[in-house]
Amino acid sequence: MTGAQPRPRWLFLVSPRWLAWHAFAAAAAWGMLWLGDWQFHRAESGNALSWAYTIEWPIFTIFGVIFWAKTIVDEWRRQSAPAAGLLSASALADDGLDLPAGAHTPGLADDEPTDDPELAAYNAYLARLNSPQAPNYRMARNSRPAPR
Amino acid sequence: MRPDVLSLVVRGYRTMAYVTGTMLCVLVFVCIPLQVWGNNAKPADVVGTIHGFLYIIYIVVAFAMTRAVRMKVASPGTIIVLLAGTIPVLTFVVERWVSRRHIAPALAGVAPSEQPVLR
């Protein structure tokens, strides 16, 4: 860390956007558990097919919780990445989509030092894709001619 | 991400995308019409249940793929990939889009020689 950030890292979790996301995740999890419970009662009262859904809904709930947790870990990693060079802009933006190309390179925000040449090459590739000279949608298109 | 792991995850994703997508098409375009107009609910029950469990596998494999090609978790792309398994035909469209937009660059970046020939 360069110490350029005055606010604590976890503060993003209580921004309106993230609060809305937490609320949605909680509602979705509750809803899926409710559906599982409903299917369980249907299964108990003789609907054999409902046993499958009784198993499925909790699994979807678990996945939803994992997904929600991953979004937080992802953002946390992005915020704790060194705020130098290319990465400085990522701290300013909640979402990399609207940034100019090159400002946001999540692939470079790795915790481990990149002594692995393969990984370094991959990171360099990602940086290249994100550079303004070569927007990656264009590169991706060039790498594969459009069908028809 | 090692190239062999990446290509394994991608292969798993593609397999599940096509299997799940096909099963969903069978369910929606064959079994549900049978249930509604043919008064035969049995195929829809069976295929619906199969699709449910395939979708669980799909969502796990697809999520692993989005991580492997370093898509952002909270991005429209990731969410569309995950939800594609529940909307008829969308898995096929999304598989092509994600291949071009994310998988091909990732494979090219890691190991150009291993980039599959895409039709």
Task: Tell me the pTM.
Answer: 0.64
Q: What is the pLDDT of residue B3?
A: 79
**Whole-angstrom distance, CA of residue A62 vs CA of residue A122:** 32
Mutate: best of B70, B80, B97, partner A, most A CBs <10 A: B70
Other CB atoms within a 10 A radius of the CB of residue B93 amount to: 13
**A145 DSSP assignment:** P
Residue with the two structure tokens 């409903």: A38
Please give the span between the terminal C-alpha atoms of chain A, in angstroms, as a whole number: 49
- The minimum CA-CA distance between A74 and chain B, rounded to whole Å, is 7
State the average pLDDT over residues A100-129: 62
Q: What is the C-alpha separation between A14 and A81, in angstroms, rounded?
A: 20
Touching check for B112 and chain A: CB below 8 Å?
Answer: no
**What pLDDT sits at residue A133?**
57
Asked if the model's pLDDT at residue A140 lies above 90, the reply is no
- Report yes or no: B6 and B69 within 8 Å, Cβ to Cβ: yes
Q: How confident is the model at residue A124 (pLDDT cuts 50, 70, 90)?
A: confident
The alpha-carbon gap from B67 to the nearest alpha carbon of chain A, in Å, equals 10
CB atoms within 10 A of CB B108: 19
Q: Distance (Å) from the C-alpha of residue A26 to the closest C-alpha of chain B?
A: 16
CA distance B94 to B92: 6
Most confident listed range (A46-55, A84-93, B24-33): B24-33
Q: Is the distance from CB of B65 to CB of B79 less than 8 angstroms? A: no
User: What are the CB-based long-range contacts (under 8 Å, 24+) for B25-30?
Assistant: B25/B88, B25/B89, B27/B51, B28/B88, B29/B88
> Among A8-17, A37-46, B52-61, which is the least confidently predicted range?
A8-17
> Which of B99, B87, B26 lies closest to B58 in space, CA to CA?
B87
Mean pLDDT along residues A44-70:
90
- B57 or A4: whose pLDDT is higher? B57
Burial class (CB in 10 A: 0-12, 13-18, 19+), B78: buried
Report d(CA A145, CA B50) in Å as an integer.
Answer: 36
Residue A116 has pLDDT above 80, yes or no: no
Query: Is residue A106 scored above 70 in pLDDT?
Result: no
- Residues of chain A with pLDDT > 90, as a percent, come to 27
Task: Give yes or no for A97 touching B (CB within 8 A).
Answer: yes
Confidence (pLDDT) at B15: 94
**Better-predicted residue by pLDDT, A3 or A77:** A77
Chain A residue numbers touching B61 (CB-CB < 8 A): none
B92 in contact with A, Cβ within 8 Å: no
The per-residue pLDDT for B2 is 76
Q: Label residue A5 by pLDDT band (50, 70, 90).
A: low
How far apart are alpha carbons A128 and A8 in whole angstroms? 31
> In sequence order, what are the residues at sequence separation of 6 or more whose Cβ sits closer than 8 angstroms to the Cβ of residue A143?
B104, B105, B108
* Residues A22, A19: Cα–Cα separation, whole Å: 5
The pair of structure tokens assigned to B85 is: 């398994």
pLDDT at residue B45 in the model? 87
- A74 contacts B74? CB cut-off 8 A: yes
pLDDT at B93 (0 to 100) = 94
Q: How far apart are CA A97 and CA A103, in angstroms?
A: 10
CB atoms within 10 A of CB A115: 7
**pLDDT tens track, chain B, 119 positions:** 677 888 899 999 999 999 999 999 999 999 998 888 988 888 888 898 899 899 999 999 999 999 888 888 888 889 999 999 999 899 999 999 999 988 888 888 754 444 455 54
Q: Which of the four pLDDT bands, split at 50, 70 and 90, describes residue A31?
A: very high
